[in-house]
Amino acid sequence: MKKTVIATLLLLSVISSSHSEVAPLVSGQIVQVKKLARDIVNVKQSIKNTGPSEFQSAENVKAKQKRFQQFTEALNRYPQLDDPLVQTARAEYMSLQTALKAEFERAKQQLKELGDVQARLTQLQQNFDQYPVPQIMEPPFDAVAVSNWVKQASAARTVGEHNLKELNAIVPLAYLPINPGTPQNGSPFDADDVRRMQNHAKKMQQAVQSNYLTMSGNITNQLKQKIEQVKNRWQENPEGENKWVFLKVDQVSQAKQLFSESKALAQSSIYLEQALQQDHSFATEALKVINQAEQQYQANGQLALNSSRLPEAVNDDDDMIEFAEEILERPRYQFGAYGPIVLTTKDIIERESKSSEIDIDKVEVVGRDLKMSGTETTWTYKWQEFKFATPIKDADGTWYIWWITAKKYASGSSITPIGEWVAGQSTQGNPILESNF
């Protein structure tokens, strides 16, 4: 780190000469003495006696010492002490000496107040690096995360305030000439670096508040959207034909996810506002609304389950029921335990369809045309089908109404099961209480 020192100015005495032995100035000397006086005045006028003193720089002090010595030597070449021009030059010389002494003393006092300014600036930069403003958190977050964020934000704000106070105290006193390097590369801090640090300190304080407002605003907006969803969804009659919105696995899963996300948002908002001693009434009320909506959904789910019934049978044909039992008990389907079989179609229906597949075995290019040849295989599917519903016990012990299409193929492809009743489309429906069979 560059250190600045105040060098002691060595004042050389101007040699006196006797009046009787000194010849008057000739024309060339007159010009030189006038120029010498002007140069001395110019140097004196170049001394800035306000703001940071450039004499905090050892290089600047050395340059002024050298220039003052040059003036001393120049004046010693003109012993015509009674000559008005020489007297003027000597008067300006003494005035410069007084100005230099005063500025040296002022620089000395500034350095005393500043201490090691480069060390101070290095410490301030380390403060910036060690205590950055925490980034905006995305909800949900818990109380611990909020507490950590608040601690980091508080530390960053304190650093911003402290560093700005220090920098504002340094700026009026420290002589920090601009240099092309950067402190990160080992160059001393200059005035531009200090201005940058002042701006950074101000932005740190602003960023803490700005980041909080952004987080608070984001959570509030998201929470408003969630409240609209939980209040307006699932308005169906739990005992009506749309009771499935309270019973089907995917619907229940969606509801649980929405309530969970909504409560997490509300709780995140409460944690944040409480930690910063801000108003959290909106989030508290939102959490209450969400909990009430969740309780209502669960209550409707119970009503829907209590009212869940098997469909009315449109047929009680013993053979069709026996065919359904064959399907349910076929090991490859792993349906497991089942309850009453309810036929939902009146008769066994005959159906037929065709399916083709082309096997390309030759491809050739003729001119600009691409020609392909192969074998087309057509399968004719003929089958009988009927539909039925039955409660099937899930692995977790819950009974669900399954809607199954039974099929018996008379013809088909090479992999079609022929001559046995098999399960076609099978769909899991609403849960049902065993007591409601």
Contact 43, 65 (CB under 8 A): no
User: What is the distance between the alpha carbons of residues 120 and 436, in angstroms, rounded to a whole number?
Assistant: 82
β-bridge pairing 399-411 and 421-431: antiparallel
Task: Tell me whether residue 342 is in a domain.
Answer: yes
- My answer on whether 78 and 151 are in the same domain is no
Task: Tell me whether residue 7 is in a domain.
Answer: no
- My answer on whether 69 and 146 are in the same domain is no
Nearest to 425 by CA among 377, 383, 378: 383
What's the pLDDT score for residue 377? 78
What's the pLDDT score for residue 363? 63
User: What is the distance between the alpha carbons of residues 179 and 182, in angstroms, rounded to a whole number?
Assistant: 8
- My answer on whether 164 and 207 are in the same domain is yes
Segments in the chain below pLDDT 50: 1-19
Task: Tell me whether residue 368 is in a domain.
Answer: no
User: What is the distance between the alpha carbons of residues 293 and 230, in angstroms, rounded to a whole number?
Assistant: 6
What's the pLDDT score for residue 21? 76
Task: Tell me whether residue 8 is in a domain.
Answer: no
- My answer on whether 50 and 165 are in the same domain is no
Contacts 24+ apart (CB under 8 A), 74-79: 74/36, 75/14, 75/36, 76/12, 76/14, 76/15, 78/25, 78/29, 78/33, 78/36, 79/15, 79/16, 79/17, 79/22
- My answer on whether 251 and 137 are in the same domain is yes
- My answer on whether 124 and 148 are in the same domain is yes
For residue 118 the two structure tokens come to 């480069």
- My answer on whether 294 and 160 are in the same domain is yes
Task: Tell me whether residue 2 is in a domain.
Answer: no
Averaged pLDDT of the chain: 92
What's the pLDDT score for residue 22? 84
- Helix pair 249-275, 191-232: axis angle to 10 deg: 140
- My answer on whether 152 and 228 are in the same domain is yes
Task: Please write the tens of the pLDDT for every residue from 180-212.
Answer: 999 999 999 999 999 999 999 999 999 999 999
- My answer on whether 39 and 130 are in the same domain is no
- My answer on whether 147 and 290 are in the same domain is yes
Task: Please write the tens of the pLDDT for every residue from 299-322.
Answer: 999 999 999 999 999 999 999 999
Last residue of a domain, one of 245, 277, 307: 307
- My answer on whether 335 and 241 are in the same domain is no
pTM: 0.72
Domain that holds residue 236: 116-176+185-307
* Structural domain count, the chain: 3
- My answer on whether 327 and 212 are in the same domain is no
DSSP 3-state assignment of 277?
Answer: coil
